[in-house]
């Protein structure tokens, strides 16, 4: 677990500035939802925290250490996307353990961590299957398992449930919540689904055109939206 700090983050693609001076402190173990309309810069911000995108200006700190110059692996973060990108030729267990294998962990350690994550995510009986033999929800759980086994300091989620049907989304939402209650890993969860944000997050950050409109607990935002944009975004149905 680790705190995450953004200090005056700017991001430009050529002449186009997409993130304008964002500062944000996320506490150890906190679950933050980052919400806002399509194109407002959510993925860009997440990718800069992950180390997948260069920061134009500003600092990202994880656990009190500036990580701008570190690779994604060195940052000890795990990212879960909407496309799960599982390896089709590998079993569930092999998919979940693959990153640990790359890090040079022993077979015993890999097996132990994979089994532990499988228990948490109700995947124990599916460890020998191939991705093609799984449902969408099961695949998404494998993708989460792959993130958990590395015991990351921070989880970054980029709209992980948006490819799933409504019923499954509701189920996975409660699984993610239960998982966070168990492992308490600092989490930043990007979504454009207000209900997801309201139910999962300790704190919601509303982004619009690369700037923070408001941050606060779900109740604070719901009761006292800072402006019409936040009111419309938090108040309107998904």
Residue 183 to residue 54: CA distance in whole angstroms: 29
Note the residues at the interface with ligand ADP (CB under 6 A): 13, 18, 36, 38-44
Q: DSSP assignment of 179-237, as one string?
A: HHHHH--EEEEEES-HHHHHHH-SEEEEEETTEEEEEE-HHHHHHS-SSHHHHHHHHS-
**Shortest spacing between CB 34 and ligand ADP, in angstroms:** 9
Q: Name which of Mg ion, ligand ADP, none residue 150 binds, using a CB cut-off of 5 to 8 Å depending on partner kind.
A: none
Using rule CB under 5 A, residue 194 touches Mg ion: no
Q: Name which of Mg ion, ligand ADP, none residue 87 binds, using a CB cut-off of 5 to 8 Å depending on partner kind.
A: none
Q: Name which of Mg ion, ligand ADP, none residue 13 binds, using a CB cut-off of 5 to 8 Å depending on partner kind.
A: ligand ADP
Among 34, 43, 110, 180, binds Mg ion (CB under 5 A): 43
Using rule CB under 5 A, residue 44 touches Mg ion: no
Binding mask 3-42 toward Mg ion (x if CB under 5 A, else -) reads ----------------------------------------
Residue 117 to residue 126: CA distance in whole angstroms: 12
Using rule CB under 5 A, residue 95 touches Mg ion: no
Nearer to Mg ion by C-beta: 56 or 162? Answer: 162
Q: Name which of ligand ADP, Mg ion, none residue 152 binds, using a CB cut-off of 5 to 8 Å depending on partner kind.
A: none
DSSP category for residue 64 = T
Residue 114 to residue 101: CA distance in whole angstroms: 11
Residue 118 to residue 124: CA distance in whole angstroms: 5
The residue among 151, 134, 49, 153 whose CA lies nearest residue 84 is 134
**Shortest spacing between CB 22 and ligand ADP, in angstroms:** 12
């Amino acid at each position: 677990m680790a705190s995450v700090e953004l200090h005056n983050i700017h991001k430009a693609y050529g002449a186009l500035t997409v993130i304008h001076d964002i500062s944000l402190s996320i506490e150890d173990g906190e679950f933050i939802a980052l919400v806002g309309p399509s194109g407002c810069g959510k993925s860009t911000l997440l990718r800069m925290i992950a180390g997948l995108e260069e920061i134009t200006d500003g600092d990202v700190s994880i656990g009190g250490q500036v990580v701008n110059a570190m690779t994604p692996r060195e940052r000890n973060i795990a990212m879960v996307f909407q496309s799960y990108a599982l390896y089709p030729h590998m079993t569930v267990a092999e998919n979940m353990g693959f990153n640990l294998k790359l890090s040079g962990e022993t077979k015993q350690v890999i097996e132990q961590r994979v089994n532990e994550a499988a228990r948490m995510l109700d995947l124990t009986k599916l460890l020998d299957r191939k991705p093609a033999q799984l449902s969408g929800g099961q695949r998404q759980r494998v993708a989460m398992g792959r993130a958990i086994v590395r015991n990351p300091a921070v989880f970054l989620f980029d709209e992980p449930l948006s490819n799933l049907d409504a019923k499954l989304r509701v189920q996975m939402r409660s699984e993610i919540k239960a998982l966070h209650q168990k492992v308490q890993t600092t989490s930043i969860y990007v979504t454009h689904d207000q209900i997801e944000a309201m139910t999962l997050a300790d704190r919601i950050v509303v982004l619009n055109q690369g700037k923070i409109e408001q941050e606060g607990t779900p109740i604070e935002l719901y009761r006292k939206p800072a402006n019409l944009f936040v009111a419309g975004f938090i108040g309107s149905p998904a």
